[in-house]
């Protein structure tokens, strides 16, 4: 149920979401999906191409003077037009969806447990929840950043509390991949350092087979979860 995949970088998450959605739709002939915290709607076109009705949700709150907040900011971030505009906890529960998609959202809500329970109430009895969340992250999109990430054990616990069954949990990346990501971020400010950075990354990756297994598996980039209601 729980796996950790090493040597998978920060770009692994997006193709995993695409492959997972396509597989679930084709295997189950699903017709509806809600994208929780959809933001720019990066999966909308793909989901629609599968013949699935795409419903987007977000709270569409844009802050003024956001530069006064510390942390990483994406100034190019643009919301798409939402089908449902409200806090995730206020989404009506009268309609159920075949797939509830929630990617990189739970670190941005003050009570992720309540949100997880809410997702369990939006999914059809035969449907699936598809989630992604950082295992650890730097402060970003402040002030809407409430935890650096969530562990696979968090998802296992709250799935049980929500009467959900975990289909799979995967941590992508390990401690070495995390170090490579942060070193790359550290030296990204100057192109002249690129040759040095390439050598440094190669050295760091060589440590993967020398450090203790407990250290190697103590880190990672993100958690990928598929869950479904218990029947």
For residue 94, the SS3 value is coil
- Containing H/E element for 154? helix 152-161
Residue by residue, pLDDT tens for the chain (231 residues) are: 668 877 777 789 999 999 999 999 999 999 999 999 999 999 999 999 999 999 999 997 655 545 567 777 666 667 778 999 999 999 999 999 999 999 999 999 999 999 999 999 999 999 999 999 999 999 988 888 999 999 999 999 999 999 999 999 999 999 999 999 999 888 877 777 778 888 999 999 999 999 999 999 999 999 999 999 998
Picking from 193, 170, 184, the residue whose alpha carbon sits closest to that of residue 138 is 184
Token pair of 167, please? 């289909």
Token pair of 175, please? 């401690």
Residue 4, number of CB atoms within 10 A of its CB: 18
Q: What CATH number labels 2-174+220-229?
A: 3.40.50.150
- pLDDT value for 68: 65
- Look at the block and give the residue holding tokens 């009895």: 125
Contacts of 126 (CB under 8 A, 6+ apart): 28, 98, 228, 231
R_g of the chain, CA atoms, integer Å: 19
């Amino acid at each position: 149920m729980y796996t950790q995949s090493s040597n998978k970088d920060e770009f692994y998450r997006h193709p995993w979401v695409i492959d997972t959605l396509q597989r679930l739709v084709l295997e189950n002939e699903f017709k509806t999906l809600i994208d929780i915290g959809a933001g720019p709607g990066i999966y909308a076109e793909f989901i629609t191409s599968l013949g699935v009705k795409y419903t987007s949700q977000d709270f569409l709150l844009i802050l003024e003077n956001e530069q006064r907040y510390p942390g990483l900011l994406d100034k190019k971030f643009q919301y798409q037009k939402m089908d449902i505009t409200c806090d995730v906890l206020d989404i009506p529960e009268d309609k159920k969806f075949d797939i509830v998609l929630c990617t990189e959202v739970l670190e941005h809500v003050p009570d992720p447990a309540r949100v997880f329970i809410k997702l369990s109430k939006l999914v059809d009895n035969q449907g699936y929840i598809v989630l992604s969340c950082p295992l650890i992250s730097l402060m970003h999109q402040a002030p809407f950043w409430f935890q650096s990430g969530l562990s696979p054990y968090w998802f296992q616990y709250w799935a049980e509390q929500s009467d959900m069954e975990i289909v799979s949990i995967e941590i992508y990346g390990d401690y070495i991949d995390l170090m490579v990501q942060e070193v790359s971020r550290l030296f990204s400010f100057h192109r002249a350092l690129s040759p040095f950075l390439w050598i440094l990354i190669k050295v760091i990756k060589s440590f993967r087979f020398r450090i203790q297994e407990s250290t190697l598996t103590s880190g990672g980039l993100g958690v990928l979860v598929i869950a479904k209601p218990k029947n």
